[in-house]
Amino acid sequence: MEEITSEREIAELLKPKVAIQCAKSAILISSLKNTTLDSANINQNKNEENLKEVEELKMEMFKQKLKNKRLKLCSVMELLIQVMVLLSIWTMLLLLAFN
């Protein structure tokens, strides 16, 4: 085998190997970029979906709070009406008893 002594010969022999390594590196970098961009897009879509879901849940919670307030108001009004009816009956019975 002949010995390779000059730098020029070494550089000529290494050029294809370097070119192949550069091509592999470029492919890996581009695939990483695509993967990163895809995952970023997926994350952004998930974030948007989560925000929409949070807004819907907030609206549902607000509706439930309003419903609870109405129920409380109705129950208080019902209690007041029952007390008024009871007082009216007692008053009528007392009037009948003392007349």
Write down the pLDDT at residue 19. Answer: 76
Within 13 A of 62's CA, how many CA atoms are on the CB side?
6
pLDDT along the chain (99 residues), means of 10: 60 74 78 69 79 89 91 91 96 91
Q: Tell me the C-alpha distance between 50 and 62, whole Å.
A: 18
Write down the pLDDT at residue 91. Answer: 95
**What does pTM read for this prediction?**
0.46
Q: Find out whether 47 and 38 touch, Cβ atoms under 8 Å.
A: no
Write down the pLDDT at residue 62. Answer: 92
How far is Cα of residue 49 from the mean position of the Cα atoms in its chain?
6
Q: Find out whether 56 and 48 touch, Cβ atoms under 8 Å.
A: no
